Amino acid sequence: MGLPALEFSDCYLDSPQFRDRLKSHELELDKTNKFIKELIKDGKALIQALKNLSSAQRKFAESLNEFKFQCIGDAETDDEMCIAKSLQEFAGVLQNLEDERTRMIENADDVLITPLERFRKEQIGAAKEAKKKYDKETEKYCGVLEKHLSLSAKKKESHLHEADSQVDSVRQHFYEVSLEYVFKVQEVQERKMFEFVEPLLAFLQGLFTYYHHGYELAKDFNHFKTDLTISIQNTRNRFESTRSEVESLMKKMKENPHEHKSISPHTMEGYLFIQEKRSFVSTWVKYYCTYQRDSKRLSMVLFDQKSGGKIGEEESFILKSCTRRKTDSIEKRFCFDVEAVDRPGVMITMQALSEEDRRLWMEAMDGREPVYNLNQDNQNEAMAQLDVIGFNVIKKFIYAVETRGIDEQGLYRIVGVNSRVQKLLSLTMDPKTFADVELDSSEWEIKTITSSIKHYLRMLPAPLMTYQYQRSFIKAAKLDNPEARVAEIHSIVHRLPEKNKQMLELLMKHLANVASHHQQNLMTVANLGVVFGPTLLRPQEETVAAIMDIKFQNIVVEILIENHDTIFKDTPAPAVGPTGLQLNLPRRKSTENKAPSCSERPLTLFRTPTHPDKDKAALTDKRNSVVMNSSSESQPTSLNCNSTHNWSKLNNLSSGDGEQDGLLLARQNRPNALQNPKGRGSISSSPASPSPTSPRSPSWPMFSAPSSPQPASCTSSESSPLSPPPRKARALYACKAEHDSELSFIAGTIFENVHPSREPGWLEGTLDGRTGLIPENYVEFM
């Protein structure tokens, strides 16, 4: 119930009821005064807390901005670059947010504290002063009235008239003070309804402005957040695969440490204890020594492994001789003496770490051949060769894959049974049984045939793209400019041995054909790069650094698949400049100057398979007995572009490599309509000579795909003219927009008003108030 109204007429009566009503108003003013004092105190504490929070947030942002990521290797993928700059992006958002908070804090004192203090002092304070005056006049009036009433009636008439006038004057002044007090009390009660609340509203408006600024920042940050989420997802999957590779290498090192020593520029290196004689006292000091056989230079540096730092400068000398120290001539074990050219007759006694270590040092210094750790593939004699048999076998396998199982899901990813693979290879590699192998038979599963292709490539004595150019291909993939990458790889391919180049061309045409059916087999260019990269470009030595480069091996294979027509048919230009080689890159002109998106990045890595030993001698005997007669036997070894439809497919044959036991992370699926640089909707006119597009997209999900069928692509001109009503849809995978008309999103995103688009292979939907294109095989309707 509210306060009773104070009538001015009651001031003349000054009744007990009037005094009670006035008392309730006075109590309310006291309560309001105390509340405002407490509110001002809390407001100042809040402002100080906001200042402290802002200071802490700024310090946090500065720490983020100062930290720099360092990745393993000499180059970074686009995902790693995105993650590396994320901390600076976070810092920028936080600093921007704190700038707005600082403006809010600076205004808080003016819009909240000062008005409240002014209201309390000017209005409530004035009411208190009026109350004091009212109480004083009340006391004065009551005293005069009592004194006046006590006068005797026998007083002179003039004296009584004077007393009456005095009482009337005091009474009139009391009434005036009473009226003013009642007016002031009611005025303050009414003023507090707006002068007290208005500052609070202004303060909240400042808070709302700050929060709205944060909302706008979040909207602006959403695009980078989507890219970063995809990059983190890609990097996590690469880490899982790379970790298994590194762990496998570590186990191999534990089991056979001597077989996995890295190739060093030095003939021999390691720790040696050297005897130093000082003041007739011999001491043994630990040095790290390196020996160069060609120059016979022995270098030593004093080093303490415990402190992890150099203790002395490097010393070196030219070796003259090295002599083993007899056991009975010195108390120490594993010793040998060396003599320097510039110190003839002075023998330096050294102690190796073991007998085997001393033997290696002695062999190196005696001028014998250094012991290097050769790649296991070179130590194992291989049975596969790039000869007529090899080409015919691969062509036969590819023909079977393209005629029987080009649309089979997980093609080349799913591994066949090893015993069946070995049997098929042994039959087809033997000229006596080659013609008897019927790959059309249900006896041979498609996964057995594809695994045989990969196994054949791993059985080659050297990788198909050769050890010699392995590093050159990797360096080309690390170039910043995508066109420069293609041009450099184009040039290196034409430096390969002729047979290697022919087999690679055969393989890439086939893989391009496989990728063109990615909506059915789920094997995109990215997935095929993951499968074949580590075998086609396997390093000569298995090291952690080599494992870290697997992602760039995948990029090389992707480029070869996407640009196989230009790379293998055209001769590379002698020099590549800004307007150099014009390759058929599957991207539109509007994207030439854009940063590479998630669909152009290397994705997950996988464990490199081991290469079993082969019996080369037995195979050589078989090869020597082979006589190939392509004109007498009707087998798929002679390719004719003018034969039947099934045989015409052989024009695009190629083979592949690399096995994945782990996960294949799918790239972003770009519908074919956007792959044509001439415009959307352009379709190849010659079915007999397919020119497969290069979808840079995942069709193979990161985890097992649901068994429900994929939505069909709207690429046919015979699609129904009736469009279904708009519906909601959920994203199955993450995708980054490559063009302004497309939407970026992560898995689980909900789209509104989803309906077919005029662009083949795309849907149109709304996300956060923005309408754009969505790849149709990336969503499911709800």
Output the DSSP codes for 8-74.
Answer: TTHHHH--HHHHHHHHHHHHHHHHHHHHHHHHHHHHHHHHHHHHHHHHHHHHHHHHHHH-----SSS
What pLDDT was estimated at residue 259? 63
- DSSP classification of residue 112: I
- Give the count of alpha carbons within 13 A of 752, CB side only: 6
Q: Tell me: the pLDDT tens digits for 533-547?
A: 888 998 877 777 778
Predicted structure pTM score: 0.43
> Could you count the other beta carbons within 10 Å of the beta carbon of residue 633?
11
pLDDT tops 80 at residue 598:
no
* Structure tokens, 275: 């005897």
Strand partners, 278: 281
Q: Tell me: the pLDDT tens digits for 604-638?
A: 333 333 344 434 343 334 333 333 333 333 333 33
Angstrom distance (rounded) from CA 667 to CA 698: 4
Q: Please say whether the beta carbons of 715 and 758 come within 8 A.
A: no
What pLDDT was estimated at residue 369? 31
Strand partners, 752: 766
**Of 43-47, 361-365, 546-550, which one has max mean pLDDT?**
43-47
Phi-psi region of 367 (alpha: psi -120 to 50; beta: other; left: phi over 0): left
* Structure tokens, 128: 């208190």
Angstrom distance (rounded) from CA 315 to CA 515: 59
Q: Tell me: the pLDDT tens digits for 35-87?
A: 999 999 999 999 999 999 999 999 999 999 998 888 777 788 778 888 888 98
pLDDT tops 50 at residue 664:
no
Query: Could you tell me which residue, 511 or 11, shows the higher pLDDT?
Result: 511
**Of 139-153, 463-477, 728-742, which one has max mean pLDDT?**
463-477
* Structure tokens, 670: 């770009």
Angstrom distance (rounded) from CA 589 to CA 578: 15
Query: What are the φ and ψ backbone dihedral angles of 336, each rounded to 5 degrees?
Result: -150, 160
What pLDDT was estimated at residue 262? 59
Q: Tell me: the pLDDT tens digits for 251-289?
A: 888 887 766 565 667 788 889 998 887 666 778 888 899
Angstrom distance (rounded) from CA 191 to CA 27: 16
Strand partners, 731: 779
Angstrom distance (rounded) from CA 698 to CA 601: 12
148, containing H or E segment: helix 125-149
> Could you count the other beta carbons within 10 Å of the beta carbon of residue 100?
19
The CA distances from residue 664 to 387, 458, 522, 667, 702, in Å, are: 33, 20, 11, 9, 6
pLDDT tops 60 at residue 763:
yes
% of the chain surpassing 70 pLDDT? 76
What pLDDT was estimated at residue 102? 92
Distance between start and end Cα atoms, the chain:
54
Q: Which of 117-131, 171-185, 297-311, 706-720 has the weakest average pLDDT?
A: 706-720
Short-list 104, 56, 67, CA closest to 89: 67
Query: For all residues of the chain together, what is the average pLDDT?
Result: 76
> Could you count the other beta carbons within 10 Å of the beta carbon of residue 120?
20
* Structure tokens, 414: 């799913």
What pLDDT was estimated at residue 375? 41
Burial (CB < 10 A; 0-12, 13-18, 19+), residue 710, is middle
- Give the count of alpha carbons within 13 A of 565, CB side only: 16
Q: Please say whether the beta carbons of 386 and 500 come within 8 A.
A: yes
> Could you count the other beta carbons within 10 Å of the beta carbon of residue 500?
18
Query: Could you tell me which residue, 339 or 154, shows the higher pLDDT?
Result: 339
Query: Within its chain, how far is the Cα of 249 from the centroid?
Result: 25
**Of 315-329, 568-582, 684-698, which one has max mean pLDDT?**
315-329
Q: Tell me: the pLDDT tens digits for 449-508?
A: 999 999 999 889 889 999 899 989 999 999 988 889 999 999 999 999 999 999 999 999
Phi-psi region of 350 (alpha: psi -120 to 50; beta: other; left: phi over 0): beta
Q: What mean pLDDT comes out for the span 649-668?
A: 34
* Look-up of token digits 């049984």: 433
